[in-house]
Structure 1
């Protein structure tokens, strides 16, 4: 019955069009080993359902809508989510932003903390990443990574993919979507030929070695990003939630 519930939830999210989550990496390449030691693969049972990133030795930041997949544990310290070298840690608690409406991500607040059941040992393979405290310059060059699909309607992948993307002017992004809140960042997608796809949700947008955004959503119907009808990819702006993150970590330590 639980498996059926998860399958039905996946179909529901897949049918929500532009209000649903983003996922896989488009036009990317395999990430070099140990190049992104803060990456976390977020699982529901045996399936990778989202990405995330380690910001404390026992806290992972991800997207709030990943909560709908009944997340169970994370795997850290590996690029291959089904390899033998990863560190598996169960999720003790999910701390979802109370204002997020997972059936309408256009309202924003798509951010969630995962408290891990134990503190992870930091080292060369597992590290935390600093969060950006300022808004990003529109000319910034950034990268996004994940285990999501590599083409429209594709399957998630075992090996971590990464792609370079550029920040897109928010006013232009709003005009393309028709409506967006002010607490988001746009990067990739549109007609750039590269960006996120289904399965990359919750992963970090990284600029100047800092996490500036959380993968939130794209137009789920297609991930090719080569036509003028495509829209930019949307991320939750981490700098707008620093106080919330700090408060929630202190309350749940």
Structure 2
């Protein structure tokens, strides 16, 4: 790891934990996704001091998954190619995380710089159900009004869960809608997403999943209001592209 860019690198043990009987939680106002129509989606099962938790993530190279910084644990197991996380589908690939690299300026109190790279212990095999998603190129900023998709597993209301991948279409909002709601919103490194007049949002256990606009991952589910009402705050991937590229280059096999 000589000459690597700054980042809190956590080398994780290879212990495997079963993904059965746990719910990621929740896409609100969405619908079941067509099976394997989001081949970059990753389901993360996280072991921490508090017990088992779940997050979303997404494959950005055969050996790297991108997720939220607050999804760190002592061990992380990644499932790729899944539609129903309670079933052993033939399309699924289960890979443990070798190293978790959280952004060096991540702040757990206000969720600033909420981004983390996961280096997989072995490379994912590309297939119709497993392939990376594109990341932003250039400096053109995502504009308010853009229609994007968020996907995740888990609860679809306060009382109802599901184990199949859900998707929801959300619109990017003007920054003021989030700065009015959230004290620490930062328009340079975060995106405001979800029309307050629509009961559609990503929430809690969807953390770490991607906001995909025109087939490019532009955001990462970070945080929202306690009751899940929109808008919600996403990490702006474009702002972190230099760090992402340097880190992946440095840790190349």
Which TM-score applies when normalising by structure 2?
0.82
Q: Tell me what 1:149 maps to.
A: 155
1:78 aligns with 2:77: no
The CA RMSD over aligned residues, in Å, is 1.9
User: Is the CA contact (8 Å cut-off) linking 2:173 and 2:195 kept in structure 1?
Assistant: no
Aligned residue pairs: how many? Answer: 221
Separation in structure 2 between the aligned mates of residue 162 and residue 207 of structure 1, nearest angstrom? 13
Deviations 1:112-154 (A, max 9, x none): 00000001111211010001233212121111011142223x5
Separation in structure 2 between the aligned mates of residue 90 and residue 178 of structure 1, nearest angstrom? 36
Which TM-score applies when normalising by structure 1?
0.82
Residue ranges of structure 1 left out of the alignment (5+ in a row): 1-21, 226-230
Separation in structure 2 between the aligned mates of residue 239 and residue 74 of structure 1, nearest angstrom? 24
User: Is the CA contact (8 Å cut-off) linking 2:110 and 2:184 kept in structure 1?
Assistant: no
Deviates more, 1:56-65 or 1:124-133: 124-133
Alignment of 1:32-111 (within 5 A): 32-44=34-46, 49-67=54-72, 69-85=73-89, 86-105=92-111, 108-111=112-115
SS of 1:244's equivalent? helix
Alignment of 1:1-253 (within 5 A): 24-44=26-46, 49-67=54-72, 69-85=73-89, 86-105=92-111, 108-133=112-137, 134-152=140-158, 154=159, 157-181=162-186, 182-188=188-194, 190-219=196-225, 221-223=226-228, 225=229, 232-253=231-252
User: Is the CA contact (8 Å cut-off) linking 1:29 and 1:161 kept in structure 2?
Assistant: yes
